[in-house]
Amino acid sequence: MKRRVLRDLTNNVGVSAEGGNFPERKQDTEVGQCVVAQLARKENSCGPSVSFNSKSTENVYAPIGLEEIYVLLNKHNFVCSEALAAGEITMNMRSILVDWMIEVVDEYSLEPETLFLSVAYVDMCLHRLSICRAELQLLGVTCIFIAAKYEEIYAPQIEKLCYITDNSYDRTQIIDMERMVLDCLNFSVMLTTTNTVVTLLLAQLCVDNICTIFAAFLSEMTLMRGELSKFSPVINAGACIFLAEFYTGNNTPSVQQFFINDSEQLRKCIQLLHLNVQEFDKKSYHALSEKYVDHNDLQISDELRGKDLRDTDLFT
């Protein structure tokens, strides 16, 4: 991976954003409750059985129970990026930063959840703090460092993180920014992310490997789109899996059964994400394109761009 400096960020890039601000998003606990209730009633007939009964001790694939999942989806605050704090950072700059963060996480073979957590930390800091342009890459690399220390067995050394920024920042600057970020987060580093819910839902669905990878690809795409932050991680995850199933040939995606009571929100999110897929540009999604370049089935072809959502039961 080439060392990159993001200090000279401009607002003149290919990634578009609406109005330069994050749309408002409400914290909807009823959505999470509905999905968990549906999951609890769902019997998985594919692969190893995954039980959400907290009283069961027979299944080694059930390390957490229904109550813990409910807490995961509802007790911990969703990342509400309603608007950028007053300052010089724009949505396009944020998109460039997230693209670079995807590249860094992939370079060091970190867990997907590390990426999603780190972007969530960035969004919360951009919402609450006034970050100048010269500090934006420092914020991003520090959030990766914090997320890795929480999620990974071995977090990258600070010296490696300094190197990946072309030594634009030193050890002291990262440590100082770490204190600032943790103070902004009030040391609450556990958050519900789209990746969390995608993993949970996929464990209950009978989908093939290509569909699973496509869902991961789409979920990472949502990280770069600020306008999707108005939807909860539960809705974003449902939209990712719905489109992944649809793009791989299923006009009746099985994931929609979990969103019977919230199909309207799911439809809106699906439409917005599908529009982003239709407008997919490799230059705007450089890191994603490079990361999934070996997966030929994930190429955004003209045939895929032309798919009509009205072919699915949810939009008929």
pTM, two decimals, is 0.78
C-alpha span between 239 and 262 (Å, rounded): 12
Name all domains of the chain by residue range, CATH numbers in brackets.
91-184 (1.10.472.10), 194-315 (1.10.472.10)
306: exposed, middle or buried (C-beta count within 10 Å: 0-12, 13-18, 19+)?
exposed
Per-residue pLDDT reduced to its tens digit, 133-179? 999 999 999 999 999 999 999 999 999 999 999 999 999 999 999 99
Local confidence band at 121 (pLDDT 50, 70, 90 cut-offs): very high
pLDDT in tens, 96-113: 999 999 999 999 999 999
Q: Regarding predicted confidence, which is higher, 73 or 181?
A: 181
- Local confidence band at 10 (pLDDT 50, 70, 90 cut-offs): low
pLDDT at residue 81 in the model? 46
Give the chain as a DSSP string. ------TT--S-SS---STTSPPP----HHHHHHHHHHHHH----SSS-----TT--S-TT-SS-HHHHHHHHHTSPP----SPPSSS--HHHHHHHHHHHHHHHHHTT--HHHHHHHHHHHHHHHHHS---GGGHHHHHHHHHHHHHHHH-SSPPPHHHHHHHTTTSS-HHHHHHHHHHHHHHTTT------HHHHHHHHHTTS---HHHHHHHHHHHHHHHH-GGGGGS-HHHHHHHHHHHHHHHTT-SS-GGGGGGGGGHHHHHHHHHHHHHHHHT--TTTTHHHHHHTTT-GGG---HHHHT--GGGSGGG-
Residue 303: pLDDT above 70?
no
Compare 181 and 291 and report the one with higher pLDDT.
Answer: 181
